Chains A and B, each alone.
Chain A
Amino acid sequence: MLNKTRPGLASVMIRKTRRGLAAVVLLTFLAQISLFFIGIMDPYTRARSLWGKSLEQRRGIVCGVGMTLKQIADQFPIDSKIYLIHPQAFVHMNAVYSFYPRTLSVTMSNRRYNTDQEYAAWDEVPSWQWLQTNGFSYVLSFQNGGRRWDVRPGLVLE
């Protein structure tokens, strides 16, 4: 009777192996949880760098380009149409957002600008007649420190 209920060597070995594997799984899981401080460091360092600062200072810390573009955009009337010449991918993407609801365009022909090659091939310098006809009031360039022009008869852009 006793011999029948006693587990065999094989089943004891299987049970011990399963327990050993279970211990490994549980330990690695515990290790993953105990690394929580690595995850929390990302928001913590972010919060520490931003705490006690004004909104614009914080914007400058987390997105310097965004702050600069917002300051430039605020100089233009809210309903203005602005033509951006010599666009670069990163600045263009951020500028369209920062300038909205002002219209910021880089194309005369509704051409696609998405890849670096497409931006590198940009050659759409408008004439003052085209700008006036299409309702643009300003021209902007972020090259060489940045420059703006009011659209007026005789304006020549390079």
Chain B
Amino acid sequence: MTTDWIQELLAVFIILAAGASVFYLVVRTPERYGRLERWAYCYPLGLVALGIPMFLMSWAGYHPNVPAIGGMTLGALVVFRLARKTPLARFWLMRGERETGAPGFTEAEWLLMMIIVACLGMRLITSMLAPLNDNDGIAEWGLKARILYHDTLRHTDYFQRADLSFSNHSYPLLWPFMYAWVCTCIGRWDDLGMLILNPLNLIAFAILLYYACCRYASRTVALATTACMVSLPALLHYTECGQADVPLMLMAGVCFFCLFDWIHTRSTESLVLSGILMAGCLFTKHQGMVVLGAYGAAAMASVYGTKTRKLLGQLAGVSLLVFILILPWIIFSRRIINYSAETSHVSPATIRWHDLPAALGFIAAGSVEWYNSVKLAKWNLLWPVIALAACCSKCTRQRPWCYIVLVWGLQSAVILLLYLAKREPIGLGLGTEFGLEREALVILAPLWLLLAKCVDEQWRIWKGIL
């Protein structure tokens, strides 16, 4: 049991090391990031940096292999160190520019910090106790991970078996590869040990959300927004499930934080980080395509009326990077036959427009209902709070914050249309309800930033500063 812990930590360490080498390669001004923020970035970047090579290895017929992957990761770090010449210790341990001279926490901030630690700690403990149990987690993501652990993409007959269509053959494979990676480090299939990654998604997102909020709002508001996020019942529940929605939330959220930083500061390194994470979104879930469209629209809108040519060039360069990173998966996925009854027939012609009012009513009711059909708490007051804060704040009508509203609107509209085009009528069946809850978590990721900004603005109005 003790050795399992060491091996699980080794798996996480190699993910972090892979992300660290990417972050070290891309970022030229580490002082712009907080110390803990730099480490937290390593996790989502590491998932992408390991996931895509593992996919290529498996496609070529090779199993993930701890010495090979670990050696390649450390080798990359050494090569990048020699190329960059920035001392590693200085890069990782230096204080961020916003951290120097910051006053200590107030009592209120300590209280918020305690809420955050309690929620994350409880989630961590439970994830270490409960083996894989969610139905979709087992039938879709767990099964794929198990196949990738025992077999390779080159040799498995999984993609030709129509009787396994319940597992949605065409779903992207980043998350199954990560589960398979942890089990590879453990040395056997372990559907408890691999779940060590689940709470890490939430922990990394909480840290990165806090630092992102600190850029645009006071520290107290940033902590309060983070506390609000980590204590969300739906999020705490879905973090335990072995599904790819919370990893996508992490990937999409952090991608947006980087993109928003680029919109604010036009820092190229933020845009590159955003591009790498966007490739991660596309390799995590099909919903990543919706994220790509919405974030792309926001980025294009932000360029309008400014130094267009230079910024468009940057966007084109990063789009090319995303395309190159995701190209192997695009090629592979085009060969997969979509047997799924749920999505195989979806097209603009299948959208049931007459169901739109009922669907909107169902979604509106779902956003204020306290419990879902299996008596699990959902959002508490979150959606009314966001709506009220957004309506009362000027920032939602100003650049660049209006781009978050645009992103929310586009994502919501596309997902609504997809549900209207699916075979199952919206509002019927638990699948729709749970599916919408999980997709809302991804849509929420950029909205946390907007909520922090709105609350900060209202706080200033209340204090008489604005």
Residues of A within 8 A of B (CB): 18-19, 21-26, 28-29, 31-33, 35-36, 38-44, 46-47, 50-51, 55, 58-59, 62-63, 66, 89-90, 92-94, 96-97, 100-101, 105-107, 110-115, 118
Q: A32-B382, A111-B163, A114-B339 are in contact. Are A97 and B133 (CB under 8 A)?
A: no
Q: A39-B236, A97-B143, A110-B162 are in contact. Are A58 and B131 (CB under 8 A)?
A: yes
Interface centre among B132, B133, B143, B392 (most CB of A within 10 A): B133
Is B192 part of the binding interface, using a Cβ–Cβ cutoff of 8 Å? yes
Question: Which residue of B is nearest A100, CB measured?
Answer: B146
Q: Can you name 22 A-B pairs with beta carbons within 8 Å? A: A19-B464, A22-B392, A22-B458, A22-B459, A22-B461, A24-B392, A28-B381, A40-B119, A51-B129, A59-B131, A63-B132, A89-B166, A93-B166, A93-B167, A101-B146, A101-B150, A110-B162, A112-B163, A113-B166, A114-B165, A114-B339, A115-B341
Is B240 part of the binding interface, using a Cβ–Cβ cutoff of 8 Å? yes
Q: Which of B395-434 contact A (CB under 8 A)?
A: none
Is B93 part of the binding interface, using a Cβ–Cβ cutoff of 8 Å? no
Residues of B within 8 A of A (CB): 112, 115, 118-119, 122-123, 125-126, 129-133, 135, 138-139, 142-143, 146-147, 150-151, 160-167, 192, 224, 227-228, 230-233, 235-237, 240, 339-342, 376-377, 380-382, 384-385, 388-389, 392-393, 451, 454-455, 458-459, 461-462, 464
- Could you tell me the distance between the alpha carbons of A5 and B112 in the complex, rounded to whole angstroms? 41
- Could you tell me the distance between the alpha carbons of A110 and B192 in the complex, rounded to whole angstroms? 32
**Main SS class of interface, B:** helix
Instruction: Return chain B residues, CB-CB under 8 Å to A107.
Output: 162-163
Instruction: Return chain B residues, CB-CB under 8 Å to A114.
Output: 165-166, 339-342
B264 to chain A, nearest CB (A): 24
Known: A50-B130, A110-B162. 18 other contacts (CB 8 A): A22-B459, A23-B462, A26-B455, A31-B381, A31-B385, A36-B118, A38-B233, A39-B119, A39-B377, A42-B376, A44-B126, A47-B126, A63-B133, A93-B135, A94-B139, A96-B167, A112-B165, A114-B166
- Could you tell me the distance between the alpha carbons of A31 and B228 in the complex, rounded to whole angstroms? 10
Q: A55-B192, A111-B162 are in contact. Are A38 and B131 (CB under 8 A)?
A: no
Q: In the bound complex, do residue A39 and residue B232 qualify as a contact, i.e. CB atoms below 8 Å apart?
A: yes
- Could you tell me the distance between the alpha carbons of A51 and B125 in the complex, rounded to whole angstroms? 10
Q: In the bound complex, do residue A47 and residue B129 qualify as a contact, i.e. CB atoms below 8 Å apart?
A: yes
Q: A22-B392, A39-B231 are in contact. Are A29 and B385 (CB under 8 A)?
A: yes
- Could you tell me the distance between the alpha carbons of A148 and B169 in the complex, rounded to whole angstroms? 29
Counting from the closest, the 4 A-B pairs by CB-CB distance are A36-B231, A63-B133, A93-B139, A62-B133
Q: In the bound complex, do residue B381 and residue A110 qualify as a contact, i.e. CB atoms below 8 Å apart?
A: no
Instruction: Return chain B residues, CB-CB under 8 Å to A33.
Output: 112, 115, 224, 227-228, 231
Instruction: Return chain A residues, CB-CB under 8 Å to B166.
Output: 89, 92-93, 113-114
Instruction: Return chain A residues, CB-CB under 8 Å to B131.
Output: 55, 58-59, 62-63, 66
Q: In the bound complex, do residue B388 and residue A28 qualify as a contact, i.e. CB atoms below 8 Å apart?
A: yes
A26 to chain B, nearest CB (A): 6
**Residue from B115, B151, B160, B454 in contact with A101 in the complex, judged by beta carbons closer than 8 Å:** B151
Instruction: Return chain B residues, CB-CB under 8 Å to A118.
Output: 341
A36 to chain B, nearest CB (A): 3
- Could you tell me the distance between the alpha carbons of A36 and B382 in the complex, rounded to whole angstroms? 11
